[in-house]
Chains A and B, each alone.
Chain A
């Protein structure tokens, strides 16, 4: 199980503001997910390497060949604000 305190910590790390009600709801939902995953630990997994990807592929690489970049106007179109052709963002604390 996961505590409300842990939910608040994770939410904080993700920069999410949760109400008390949402914290308790998330605790329940995350709890269910963790429980399902817990089931795996019932198996004997001695010597089985962790699986991070279901695809049986490795070494998917590309050659070091340049491709056309986005036109700058296109790139900056999604910026909250533009200054000197750069993405302007609020001060960092």
Chain B
């Protein structure tokens, strides 16, 4: 109860900053391969080791992928962008600066549409720029954490990996929404083929700016939360930091501007030792690189090659198949599932197809802990089942039984129908059973004759029981009414 009260009074304001590895073969400014888990210092050269005189050259594919990412988020691609040096000293940065972009980034002004439990959240993208990753420090010492270290070992394999930095507007109202935003970004980047964006592999990292809105609506003092390296930790770290800020404010204290990191081991946020000049980066244009000038035609060519995005696909499913937003979202939640659905929908009624795929098939897959690619039920099987129902060869109830069998065995639905004797009753046979039921239930039958619709259901139930579910409910109802009311 108390937390609910708090949530009402205190509104969280969260902006995220992502660093995402691009799926190139080689590094940003040299021909060393981008690898994961290789022997240390086996993918290095004078450029990524920062040897004096070695010159960087921009990887064309990295530019292309970054533009694809920008376009996928509705960004404006700058006709001209410039690389800049960000100067600071750290052992993972051999040149004494990181090549990044500053005043003229590659992309600006896009947005993400994030599905959340409270509807779709629109999160603005401030900017997206290209840069190089730092090397990896392995801290030797007590706990492996920085402050306890006696020294550091540096592996330069990661140094120079192409990165995009994506900065969102402070549009995110809760830790849950922050996690959903990270998830949405990942799914878009994967759909476009820009990055695997695997947080566990360090291909996507997330920092956050967090503050609590003052009662008068103005922004509170923000803190920076660094390096949350899983989706769960994004949510957890932000939750802990907001709790810390709320506790400060409630006890009459003030939030100080600071940088923290979340430690999953003790589930706490810790202040990072303040690096005195951490924010005095003295950016200036990188003299070793020339500006990028991307022509509108080139950008449009890239745009035309973008695969359909989940949101676009969802809209198309609603429009061309007449699906509800909910069904369209479920069916486009993965590319495999969407493809599966489209193969079914192409051969039969799209709405029936949606219900059979999203309810019947997915339900069975979820129960069995399987994915769509594990399904023994092929799209052709499902089409056959739907058509068997549509042609009234089997009832819907029987069709579910058929699906159960096909789900287990992968047998053809028509074979299952034959083998299990699930074929529906012929019209004559069904008509006979209806007459028998009417004869056995004179009172309800009389009521229906008298125009009472309520008891029709009872008679339908009796017929269904007599046919052991092999008849179609709608069909039975039609025949009963035909016999009693016409």
Q: How far is the CB of A59 from chain B (nearest CB, A)?
A: 6
Known: A12-B277, A13-B280, A75-B156. Contact between A92 and B91, CB under 8 A?
yes
**Chain B residues positioned under 8 Å from A59 (CB to CB):** 290, 292-294
Does A70 belong to the interface (CB within 8 Å)?
Answer: yes
**Chain A residues positioned under 8 Å from B149 (CB to CB):** 91-92
| B 51-91 to A, binary, CB cutoff 8 A, 1 in contact else 0 | 10000011111110000000000000000101000010111
* B156 in contact with A87 (CB, 8 Å): yes
* B26 in contact with A69 (CB, 8 Å): no
Name the prevailing secondary structure of the B interface residues.
Answer: loop
Q: Of B60, B146, B289, which is within 8 A of A92 by CB? A: B146
**Chain B residues positioned under 8 Å from A87 (CB to CB):** 41, 91, 153-154, 156
Does B291 belong to the interface (CB within 8 Å)?
Answer: yes
User: In the complex, A78→B45 CA distance in Å?
Assistant: 12
* B44 in contact with A62 (CB, 8 Å): no
List B residues 102-156 near A (Cβ within 8 Å): 137-138, 140-141, 146, 149-156
User: In the complex, A57→B455 CA distance in Å?
Assistant: 85
* A66 in contact with B25 (CB, 8 Å): yes
Q: Of B31, B41, B294, which is within 8 A of A66 by CB? A: B31
User: In the complex, A53→B287 CA distance in Å?
Assistant: 6
* B39 in contact with A85 (CB, 8 Å): yes
| A 59-93 to B, binary, CB cutoff 8 A, 1 in contact else 0 | 11111111101101001101000011111111111
**Chain B residues positioned under 8 Å from A52 (CB to CB):** 82, 285, 287, 291
User: In the complex, A39→B122 CA distance in Å?
Assistant: 48
Does A19 belong to the interface (CB within 8 Å)?
Answer: no
**Chain B residues positioned under 8 Å from A61 (CB to CB):** 57-60, 63
**Chain A residues positioned under 8 Å from B291 (CB to CB):** 52-53, 58
* B40 in contact with A63 (CB, 8 Å): no
**Chain A residues positioned under 8 Å from B63 (CB to CB):** 61
Q: Of A58, A66, A76, A91, which is within 8 A of B32 by CB? A: A66
Does B8 belong to the interface (CB within 8 Å)?
Answer: no
**Chain A residues positioned under 8 Å from B89 (CB to CB):** 15
* A72 in contact with B91 (CB, 8 Å): no
**Chain B residues positioned under 8 Å from A43 (CB to CB):** none
Q: Of B61, B141, B151, which is within 8 A of A64 by CB? A: B61
* A76 in contact with B41 (CB, 8 Å): yes
How many A residues have CB within 8 A of the partner chain?
35
Count chain A CB atoms within 10 A of each CB in B33, B42, B90, B153 and give the residue with the most: B153
Q: How far is the CB of A5 from chain B (nearest CB, A)?
A: 14
* A13 in contact with B40 (CB, 8 Å): no
**Chain B residues positioned under 8 Å from A33 (CB to CB):** none
User: In the complex, A85→B57 CA distance in Å?
Assistant: 27
Does A55 belong to the interface (CB within 8 Å)?
Answer: yes
**Chain A residues positioned under 8 Å from B305 (CB to CB):** none
Closest A residue to B84 using CB positions: A52
Q: How far is the CB of A45 from chain B (nearest CB, A)?
A: 17
User: In the complex, A19→B282 CA distance in Å?
Assistant: 23
Does B454 belong to the interface (CB within 8 Å)?
Answer: no
Count chain A CB atoms within 10 A of each CB in B39, B141, B151 and give the residue with the most: B151
Q: Of A57, A62, A67, A84, which is within 8 A of B45 by CB? A: A67
**Chain A residues positioned under 8 Å from B91 (CB to CB):** 87, 89, 92
Q: How far is the CB of B392 from chain A (nearest CB, A)?
A: 58
Closest A residue to B33 using CB positions: A66
Closest A residue to B148 using CB positions: A91
User: In the complex, A86→B154 CA distance in Å?
Assistant: 5
Count chain B CB atoms within 10 A of each CB in A12, A63, A70 and give the residue with the most: A70
Q: How far is the CB of B277 from chain A (nearest CB, A)?
A: 6
* A58 in contact with B293 (CB, 8 Å): yes
**Chain B residues positioned under 8 Å from A75 (CB to CB):** 41, 44, 49, 156
Does B451 belong to the interface (CB within 8 Å)?
Answer: no
* A64 in contact with B285 (CB, 8 Å): no
User: In the complex, A64→B59 CA distance in Å?
Assistant: 6
User: In the complex, A92→B57 CA distance in Å?
Assistant: 31
**Chain A residues positioned under 8 Å from B294 (CB to CB):** 59
- A88-B153, A89-B154, A93-B273 known, 7 other contacts, Cβ within 8 Å: A53-B290, A55-B290, A59-B290, A64-B59, A75-B49, A78-B49, A89-B151
Interface positions of B (Cβ within 8 A of A): 24-26, 30-33, 39-46, 49, 51, 57-63, 80, 82, 87, 89-91, 137-138, 140-141, 146, 149-156, 273, 277, 280, 282, 285, 287, 289-294
22 contacts between A and B (CB under 8 A): A52-B82, A58-B291, A58-B292, A59-B294, A60-B57, A63-B60, A63-B61, A64-B24, A64-B26, A64-B59, A65-B31, A66-B25, A67-B45, A69-B32, A72-B39, A87-B153, A89-B154, A90-B151, A91-B141, A91-B151, A92-B137, A92-B149
